[in-house]
Chains A and B, each alone.
Chain A
Amino acid sequence: FFLRFTMPSLEQDVYAKKNISNLPMELLRMIVEPLEIWDRLSVRLTCSAFEEAVATSTHSCRIMELQYDYEDSVFKVMIDAFELFGCTTRSVAHRTLHWRQRMFGQLRVQSLIVRTVRLIDIRVVNSFLDACIFDELTVHVSRHQGLSTRVYDLIAKAKVRVVLHIRYFVPTPKQFMTFSRPVEFHFFKKWKPIKDEDFLNVLRRGHSIKSTHGIKLRSEQTLAEAIKIVSYSVVAQALRIICIEPDFLHPLLQMTNAKKIAPLKHYHSHHTYNYLRAQIYSEFYPRFGQLFVSSCSYDEEEE
Chain B
Amino acid sequence: MSSRSSASRVRRVIAALPRSAAAWVLGLVAVGWSVPLILALNASVKSEAEFTATSVWEPPQNFTLANFIQSFIYMEFPLKVANSLVISFGALALSLVIAIPVAYAITIGRHRWRTFVLATCVVIFLMPQEAFAYPIFLVAKLVHMYGNVIFLIFPLGLSGAAFATFLLGMVMSRFPTSVVDAAEIDGASRWQTLTRVVLPMMTPSIVVVGLLLFIANWNEYLLTLLLLPDSSSMTVPLAVSMFNYGQMGGPPTTIVAAASILGAIPSLIVFLLFHRSLTRGITAGAID
Query: Do A and B actually bind?
Result: no
Residue numbers of A with Cβ under 8 A of B are none
Residue numbers of B with Cβ under 8 A of A are none
